[in-house]
């Protein structure tokens, strides 16, 4: 069935005068829309125009592709390939058992081993994953949340083994549990002990690996699930402030830890919504830090963020169209002033990217960075009548959504009660119905569709079917060869630390990793102390 056959769907796409975030977009804007006092200069408070005075001249954004699958050996090979292609940072995808805290031997784990990322069940796998890669030179980002503190501990342990001083480590763990409860689903513990674990890891990291970002507060996942650009930023800022409160309540100095908070977003297709979202978010965060918390050091007011271009804005029908979408989205990220960019591959809507599609995604960024010249001048759209007006309106919209969350009682009760989850599900349904009704145009899916089109690309990625078996064999070898008494002792100390609210669990996790305790064992210890999250299922 084509869209033309469907009742109520227009025959041709209609251009609307409202952005995807619901902000009115006039056909013309004049100079009265610009309020220079709100904008400031690049590198100056409130940082609307970027956190650095020279933009990308000082340093280009980091090209950071999300990658990882199968066993550590295969991922290690893919990382070396990506670095050889000119990628400048690693981004590690982990499989679901690792993300949810199950060892590969657990019945829930078996079908998922190595599927959406690499299986990293204990230190020996991490040693293989980073073999031949100098951790003092590369920055590594881990998309890990429920078990983020454990994976960070494992990274420290690998660095120790390689003889790399911890203070030289750079990279990021996502470590943002709040959005997991709302959109991504890899929660383990209840909300409050999870907040403690995150605070423990950030405070510990600030001391031992001060160049490492121990959290990346992410709006990306609520966005991909259906939130608008304005809601994405609002949820993220609200979550960010909840972490700030937790860190302060645990004795953290905001002047110090705020320098290492970073953020992470999706970029979808409404070009100016995206640019305005980043400009407004940067300004709002700086104001919160300065006005609410009295932060003086500009670096602690900086809103540093990475982005993903693609996600659910990419579709399976006519997949080559996705290359164009990602290029447009990447331009929006650059005009928005992103610090790192991940470009999705054209086939990412339906499979793990092949080497061909992964390379094309990197090339897209390189063409924009080195051929187009769009990064030469910092915030080149600054002062544009329309962009400044749209930024102001986006800021109002973000503030409005944040005040709705505040009115509920804040993000933690809103999540515990399932209010945020339900709100997002309703928004996701709305977005889908708008697409079905032709209000959101998706070329090749709801308009300009070809009859009897064979969906797909020529080359398909296939995962080695022996991955699970190999992972299980390696896992058993570790169990057989490690010193069990050291494992037991380290886990006992971890339990004792977890039982005391004011004890930082991080040093104990690092010791557990060194003893080759497994992710599943460490998580079980913590579950015994803290319990498990009970998902509110209210639809």
Partner 1 sequence: MNELTTLRQQRPLAGKRILVGKPGLDGHDIGAKIVALTLRDAGAEVIYTGLRRTPLQIAQVAVDEGVDAVGLSILSGSHKELVADVLAQLRALKAGSVKVFVGGTIPRADQDVLRGMGVAAVFTADMPLDDVVAELAQQLS
Q: Which residues contact partner 1 (rule: CB under 8 A)?
A: 1, 6-8, 96-97, 99-100, 102, 107-112, 115-116, 180, 183-187, 225-226, 312, 315-317, 349-352, 424-426, 428-430, 432-433, 436-437, 445, 455-456, 460, 463, 535, 537, 539
Nearer to partner 1, 367 or 455 (CB): 455
User: CA 363, 369, 373, 375 torsion: positive or negative?
Assistant: positive
Nearer to partner 1, 85 or 445 (CB): 445
Q: How far is the CB of 96 from partner 1 (least distance, A)?
A: 4
Nearer to partner 1, 422 or 496 (CB): 422
Q: How far is the CB of 104 from partner 1 (least distance, A)?
A: 12
Nearer to partner 1, 295 or 468 (CB): 468
Distance CA 203, CA 345 (A): 35
Q: How far is the CB of 148 from partner 1 (least distance, A)?
A: 15
Pairing of strands 340-343, 304-309: parallel
Q: Is 222 helix (H, G, I), strand (E, B) or coil?
A: helix
Q: How far is the CB of 492 from partner 1 (least distance, A)?
A: 28
Nearer to partner 1, 283 or 423 (CB): 423
Buried b / exposed e along 46-83 (16+ C-beta atoms within 10 A): bbbbbbbeebbeeebbbbbbbbbbbbbebbbebbeebe
Helices 355-367 and 72-84 pack at an angle, to 10 degrees, of: 30
Pairing of strands 139-142, 212-213: unpaired
Q: How far is the CB of 154 from partner 1 (least distance, A)?
A: 20
User: CA 267, 183, 78, 347 torsion: positive or negative?
Assistant: negative
Q: How far is the CB of 476 from partner 1 (least distance, A)?
A: 21
Distance CA 361, CA 348 (A): 10
Contact status, residue 460 vs residue 256, Cβ threshold 8 Å: no
Nearer to partner 1, 437 or 489 (CB): 437
Q: Which residue is it, tokens 């299980």?
A: 472
Nearer to partner 1, 380 or 418 (CB): 418
Distance CA 78, CA 75 (A): 5
Q: How far is the CB of 206 from partner 1 (least distance, A)?
A: 29
Which tokens in the block code for residue 228?
């608008």
The alpha carbon of residue 29 and the mean position of all alpha carbons in its chain are separated, in whole angstroms, by 34
The alpha carbon of residue 154 and the mean position of all alpha carbons in its chain are separated, in whole angstroms, by 20
Nearer to partner 1, 88 or 312 (CB): 312
Phi, psi for 500 (deg, rounded to 5): -100, 120
Q: How far is the CB of 216 from partner 1 (least distance, A)?
A: 17
Which tokens in the block code for residue 250?
């645990």
């Amino acid at each position: 069935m084509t869209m033309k056959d469907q009742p109520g769907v227009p025959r041709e796409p209609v251009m609307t005068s409202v952005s995807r975030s619901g902000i009115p977009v006039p056909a013309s804007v004049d100079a009265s829309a610009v309020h220079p006092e709100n904008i400031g200069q690049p590198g100056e408070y409130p940082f609307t125009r970027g956190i650095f005075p020279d933009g990308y001249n000082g340093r280009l954004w980091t090209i950071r592709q999300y990658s990882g699958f199968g066993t550590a050996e295969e991922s290690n090979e893919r990382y070396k390939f990506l670095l050889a292609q000119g990628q400048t940072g690693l981004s590690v995808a982990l499989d679901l058992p690792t993300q949810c805290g199950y060892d590969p031997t657990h019945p829930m784990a078996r079908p998922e081993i190595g599927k959406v990322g690499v299986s990293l069940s204990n230190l020996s796998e991490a040693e293989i994953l980073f073999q031949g890669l100098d951790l003092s030179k590369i920055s590594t980002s881990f998309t890990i949340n429920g078990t983020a503190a454990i994976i960070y501990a494992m990274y420290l342990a690998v660095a120790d083994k390689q003889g790399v001083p911890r203070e030289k480590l750079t990279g990021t763990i996502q470590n943002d549990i709040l959005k997991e409860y709302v959109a991504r689903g890899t929660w383990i513990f209840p909300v409050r002990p999870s907040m403690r674990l995150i605070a423990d890891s950030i405070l510990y990291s600030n001391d031992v690996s001060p160049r490492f970002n121990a959290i990346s507060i992410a709006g990306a996942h609520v966005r991909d699930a259906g939130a608008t650009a304005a809601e994405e930023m609002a949820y993220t800022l609200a979550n960010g402030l909840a972490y700030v409160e937790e860190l302060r309540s645990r004795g953290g100095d905001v002047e110090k830890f705020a320098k290492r908070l970073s953020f992470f977003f999706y970029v979808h297709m409404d070009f100016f919504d995206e640019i305005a979202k980043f400009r407004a978010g940067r300004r709002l965060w700086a104001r919160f830090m300065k006005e609410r918390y009295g932060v003086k050091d500009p670096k602690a007011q900086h809103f540093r963020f990475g982005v993903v271009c693609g996600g659910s804005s990419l579709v399976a029908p006519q997949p080559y169209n996705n290359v164009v979408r990602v290029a447009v989205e990447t331009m929006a990220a650059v005009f928005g002033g992103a610090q790192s960019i991940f470009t999705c591959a054209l086939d990412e809507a339906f499979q793990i990217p092949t080497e061909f599609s992964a390379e094309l995604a990197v090339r897209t960024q390189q063409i924009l960075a080195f051929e187009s010249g769009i990064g030469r001048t910092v915030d080149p759209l600054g002062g544009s009548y329309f962009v400044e007006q749209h930024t102001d309106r986006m800021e109002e919209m973000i503030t409005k959504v944040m005040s709705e969350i505040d009115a509920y009682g804040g993000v933690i009760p809103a999540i515990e009660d399932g209010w945020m989850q339900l709100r997002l599900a309703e928004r996701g349904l709305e977005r889908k119905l708008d697409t079905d009704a032709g209000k959101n145009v998706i070329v090749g899916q709801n308009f300009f569709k070809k009859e009897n089109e064979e969906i797909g690309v020529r080359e398909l990625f296939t995962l080695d079917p022996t991955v699970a078996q190999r992972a299980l064999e390696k896992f058993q070898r570790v169990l057989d060869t490690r010193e069990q008494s050291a494992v037991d002792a380290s886990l006992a100390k971890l339990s004792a630390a977890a039982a005391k609210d004011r004890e930082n669990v991080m040093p104990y996790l690092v010791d557990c990793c060194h003893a080759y305790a497994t992710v599943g064992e460490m998580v079980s210890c913590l579950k015994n102390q803290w319990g498990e999250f009970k998902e509110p299922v209210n639809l």
